[in-house]
Structure 1
Amino acid sequence: MTPPPGWYPDPHAPHLQRWWDGTAWTEHRHAPEAPADPVPPPPDGGAGRTRAVAVTTAGAVLVAAIVTAAVALDGDGGGTDPRTAPTATSPAAPATNGAPEPTPETSASEPSADDPAVVEDQLNGVTFPLLDGWVRPQHIAQDDVVMTTDGTYDCPGGVGLCRHGLVFSRTVTENDEKSPEALAKADIEDAADEAYDRDRLGRELYGGIESHRAVKSGPVAVAGRAGYFVRWRVHTAEGPGGYVQSLVFPSSVGTESPVLVRYVFDAGEDGPPLADMDRITKGIRPFGDADTGGGVGSSIGPSD
Structure 2
Amino acid sequence: MTPPPGWYRDPSGPHLERWWDGTAWTEHRRAPEIPAPSVPAVPSAGGASGRAKAIAVTSAAVVLVVAIVVGAVVLGRDDSGGGSDPIADPTIATPTAEAPTSETPSPSTSEPSADDPAVVVDQLNGITLPLIDGWVRPQYVADPDVLMTTDGTYECPADAGVCRHGLVISRTVTGNDEKSLEALAKADIPDAADDAYDRDRIGRHPFGGIESHKLIGSGQIAVAGRTGYYVRWQVSTAKGPGGHVQSLAFPGGVGPESRVIVRYVFDAGTDGPPLSDMDRITKGIKVTGDEDGGGGVGSSIGPTD
Identify the TM-score tier after normalising by the shorter chain: 0.5 to 0.7
Letter in 1 for 2:240: G
Deviation at 1:293, TM superposition (A): 6.5
Deviation at 1:286, TM superposition (A): 1.2
* Partner Cα distance (1:216, 1:275) in 2: 13
Between 136-145 and 176-185, report the one with greater CA deviation.
136-145
Q: Given the superposition, is the C-alpha separation of residues 107 and 197 from structure 1 closer, same or farther in structure 2, using an over 3 Å criterion? A: closer
Match for residue 259 of structure 1?
260
Deviation at 1:138, TM superposition (A): 1.2
* Partner Cα distance (2:293, 2:109) in 1: 18
Deviation at 1:125, TM superposition (A): 0.8
* Partner Cα distance (1:303, 1:289) in 2: 22
SS at match of 2:247: strand
Match runs of 1:257-296 below 5 Å: 257-292=258-293
Deviation at 1:113, TM superposition (A): 2.4
* Partner Cα distance (1:112, 1:298) in 2: 25
* Partner Cα distance (2:109, 2:299) in 1: 33
Q: 1:152, 1:164 within 8 Å by CA — same for their partners in 2?
A: yes
Match for residue 205 of structure 2?
204
Q: 1:156, 1:206 within 8 Å by CA — same for their partners in 2?
A: yes
Q: Can you list the C-alpha shifts for 1:246-265, whole angstroms capped at 9, x where unaligned?
A: 00011232353210110000
For the pair 1:189 / 2:187, whether they are aligned, the reply is no
For the pair 1:224 / 2:225, whether they are aligned, the reply is yes
Letter in 2 for 1:281: T
Deviation at 1:299, TM superposition (A): 4.8
Q: 1:216, 1:302 within 8 Å by CA — same for their partners in 2?
A: no
Q: Given the superposition, is the C-alpha separation of residues 207 and 299 from structure 1 closer, same or farther in structure 2, using an over 3 Å criterion? A: same
* Partner Cα distance (1:135, 1:198) in 2: 24
Q: 2:168, 2:263 within 8 Å by CA — same for their partners in 1?
A: yes
Match runs of 1:99-248 below 5 Å: 110=110, 111-248=112-249
Deviation at 1:205, TM superposition (A): 0.2
Deviation at 1:108, TM superposition (A): 6.2
SS at match of 1:140: coil
Q: 2:136, 2:150 within 8 Å by CA — same for their partners in 1?
A: yes
RMSD: 2.8
Letter in 2 for 1:252: G
Letter in 1 for 2:214: R
- Flag the structure with larger Rg: 1
* Partner Cα distance (2:303, 2:213) in 1: 19
* Partner Cα distance (1:185, 1:151) in 2: 31
Deviation at 1:170, TM superposition (A): 1.5
Q: 2:222, 2:303 within 8 Å by CA — same for their partners in 1?
A: no
Runs of 4+ in 1 over 4 A off after TM superposition: 105-111, 301-304
Match runs of 1:68-107 below 5 Å: none
Structure 2 alignment gaps of length 5 or more: 2-95, 98-104
SS at match of 1:206: coil
Q: Can you list the C-alpha shifts for 1:185-226, whole angstroms capped at 9, x where unaligned?
A: 011011101100011222110011111000000101112211
Letter in 1 for 2:262: V
Q: 1:172, 1:260 within 8 Å by CA — same for their partners in 2?
A: yes
State the identity %: 72
* Partner Cα distance (1:123, 1:168) in 2: 13
Q: Given the superposition, is the C-alpha separation of residues 298 and 257 from structure 1 closer, same or farther in structure 2, using an over 3 Å criterion? A: closer
Between 280-289 and 162-171, report the one with greater CA deviation.
280-289
Q: Given the superposition, is the C-alpha separation of residues 298 and 162 from structure 1 closer, same or farther in structure 2, using an over 3 Å criterion? A: same
* Partner Cα distance (1:174, 1:213) in 2: 29
Q: Given the superposition, is the C-alpha separation of residues 302 and 267 from structure 1 closer, same or farther in structure 2, using an over 3 Å criterion? A: same
Letter in 1 for 2:144: D
Q: 1:212, 1:234 within 8 Å by CA — same for their partners in 2?
A: yes
SS at match of 2:281: helix
Deviation at 1:151, TM superposition (A): 1.1
With a CA cutoff of 8 Å and minimum separation of 6, indicate the structure with the bigger relative contact order.
Answer: 2
Match for residue 31 of structure 1?
none
Deviation at 1:301, TM superposition (A): 4.8
Q: Can you list the C-alpha shifts for 1:5-62, whole angstroms capped at 9, x where unaligned?
A: xxxxxxxxxxxxxxxxxxxxxxxxxxxxxxxxxxxxxxxxxxxxxxxxxxxxxxxxxx
